[in-house]
Amino acid sequence: MKAAAGPGFALRDVPPPVIRDNEVLIRVRRAGVCGTDVHIYDWDAWAQGRCHPPFTVGHEFAGDVVQVGHLVTDVRVDDRVTAEGHIVCGRCHLCRTGNAHVCPNTRIIGVDRDGCFADYIAMPATNVWQLDDAISYEIGGIHDPMGNAFHTALTNTEVPGSTVLVTGCGPIGIFAVGICRAAGASRIIASDVNPTRLALARAMGAHDAVTPQEAEGAVRAATGTLGVDVVLEMSGVPSAIHQAFALVRDGGRVQLLGIPAKPMELDLATEIIFKGITVYGVVGRRMYETWIQMTQFLRSGEFDPQPVITHRFPLERYDDAIAAIKSGSAGKVVFEVS
């Protein structure tokens, strides 16, 4: 948990959360570790402004329901589940128009309230997502970042038959490569600066896995002077974002998931307007279209996220888990909680 304002995590004995009438208590089996957790671990400026220790960190998990509140009708004890970690109000303009992923009243588990790096977590029943018997707790535990990739790759992108450039092959970029492959992209070019991550992108089905310097050549080889139909920007690095706009074809689409560390300059006229492109900002997962897509793709067997998971640790080894992410070479890092 995050015991106090300052760097690092701590392991503490705390009582299990007390659930409200509309909530369920879940015994956590597997939990994914994410860049957000690294920000909280490091206690950077964002974490200092947002989080209020002491609290339990972690927002990606799967486990078993062990208790349900009085008002819960559709989740039962012993259900194997994961959950959408963004808790929205359900009542605002955006929630009521199918845009709950940008609800201004969103509270995130492991950031704004207690999360899942613990034996138990309380979740509103509305956020619970049932896992098929065939889906392991490990895969269940990474539905949150996989959902980021599904949201980015499949929202208005018309992937079948398309040429796709994925800039940034962190866990989410690598998931996206596999999703685009399963969705029938004709050519997937993935770029990253890290050779280990490029190898993972290749394993997930990238036709070309290249350095940023090689990306332009790969796009030219695949599309001539046209450019790719779709770019999924998954690095948040300014030079990659400029490259996304440079290598998308006129009239194409750029999906922005990566978050730049600070404001950056764009030439709107040449990078966006005169190219007639569409730019989509990705926040979280669409509720719950993304979750349905994710479940259907997993059921089809055409998309297998297993190769993305490269590191497993018991909860006590949180320092090693964070170090693995900071190394920049890991795929998905997972805690084996119980």
Please identify which residue in 22, 67, 186, 194 interacts with ligand NAD, judged by CB under 6 A. 194
Peptide bond into 137 cis (omega under 30): no
Q: Is the peptide bond before 104 cis (omega within 30 degrees of 0)?
A: no
Rounded to whole angstroms, the Cα distance separating 176 from 285 reads 13
Query: Under the criterion CB under 5 A, does residue 92 sit at the interface with Zn ion?
Result: yes
Q: Among the candidate windows 88-96, 192-200, 201-209, 308-316, which touches ligand NAD by CB under 6 A?
A: 192-200
Q: Which does 103 bind (CB under 5 to 8 A by kind): ligand NAD, Zn ion, none?
A: Zn ion
Query: In the set 239, 296, 306, 327, which binds ligand NAD (CB under 6 A)?
Result: 239
Least CB distance from residue 39 to ligand NAD, whole Å? Answer: 9
- Do residues 242 and 115 make contact, with C-beta atoms less than 8 angstroms apart? no
Q: Where do we find the tokens 């979750």?
A: 291
If the CB atoms of residues 33 and 103 are measured against Zn ion, the closer one turns out to be 103
Distance of CA 266 to the CA centre of its chain: 25
Cβ(129)–Cβ(84) below 8 Å: yes
Paired with 55 in beta bridges are: 2
Question: What is the per-residue binding string for Zn ion in 100-129, x denoting contact by CB under 5 A?
Answer: ---x-x------------------------
207 is an active site residue: no
Q: Considering just the CA atoms, what is the radius of gyration of the chain in Å?
A: 20
Scanning 89-97, 256-264, 287-295, 302-310 for contacts with ligand NAD by CB under 6 A, the matching segment is 256-264
Q: Which is nearer to ligand NAD, 62 or 325 (CB)?
A: 325
CB of 281 to ligand NAD, least distance (A): 7
173, interface contact from ligand NAD, Zn ion, none, CB < 5-8 Å by kind: ligand NAD
Query: Based on CB atoms, which residue is closest to Zn ion, 97 or 300?
Result: 97
Find the farthest-apart pair of alpha carbons in the chain and give their distance in angstroms, rounded.
62
Which CA distances in Å does 217 have to 76, 91, 186, 251?
A: 54, 49, 17, 21
Min dist. Cβ of residue 75 to ligand NAD (A): 26
Interaction mask 33-62, ligand NAD, x per CB under 6 A: --x---------------------------
Judge whether 66 and 101 are in contact, CB under 8 Å.
no
The reply to whether 39 belongs to the active site is yes
CB of 101 to Zn ion, least distance (A): 10
Among 28, 95, 180, 308, binds Zn ion (CB under 5 A): 95
Query: C-beta of 259: minimal distance to ligand NAD in Å?
Result: 4
Say what angle helices 143-154 and 171-182 make with each other, to 10 degrees: 50
- The contacts of residue 271 (CB under 8 Å, 6+ apart) are 242, 245, 246
| CB distance 177 to 206 below 8 Å | yes
Closest distance to Zn ion from the beta carbon of 284 (Å): 13
Ranges within 147-176 binding ligand NAD (CB under 6 A):
148, 167-173
Joined together, the tokens standing for residue 297 give 């793709």
Give the 3-state secondary structure of residue 24: strand
Residue 158 tokens read as 């018309």
Q: How far is CA 89 from CA 93, 96, 106, 136, in A?
A: 10, 10, 7, 30
- Position 89 contacts Zn ion (CB under 5 A): yes
Name the site residues for ligand NAD (rule: CB under 6 A): 35, 148, 167-173, 191-194, 197, 212, 234-237, 239-240, 257-259, 282-284, 328
Catalytic (active-site) positions: 36, 39
Name the site residues for Zn ion (rule: CB under 5 A): 88-89, 92, 95, 103, 105
